[in-house]
């Protein structure tokens, strides 16, 4: 995924399915300088992680 698409997803009111390593995640924020995003797993634990945006995949 690229910065432009991550920004579109963050500003969208629609629910857009995104995966990281085959697991559904929500994108919380974007760090353009580092090309990373803060994401959390969908589900009860909501574990947060910082990941490379190139590792994110729109489903």
List the domain boundaries for the chain. 3-58
pTM for the model stands at 0.88
On the question of pLDDT at 47 being above 80, the answer is: yes
The three state secondary structure string of the chain is CCHHHHHHHHHCCCCCCEEECCEEEEEEEEECCCCEEEEEECCCCCCEEEEEHHHEEEC
On the question of pLDDT at 11 being above 90, the answer is: yes
On the question of pLDDT at 17 being above 90, the answer is: yes
């Amino acid at each position: 995924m690229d910065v432009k698409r991550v920004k579109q997803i963050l500003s969208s009111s629609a629910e857009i399915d995104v995966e990281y390593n085959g697991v559904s995640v929500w994108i919380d924020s974007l760090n353009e300088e580092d090309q990373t995003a803060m994401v959390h797993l969908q589900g009860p634990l909501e574990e947060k992680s910082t990941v490379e945006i190139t590792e994110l995949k729109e489903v």
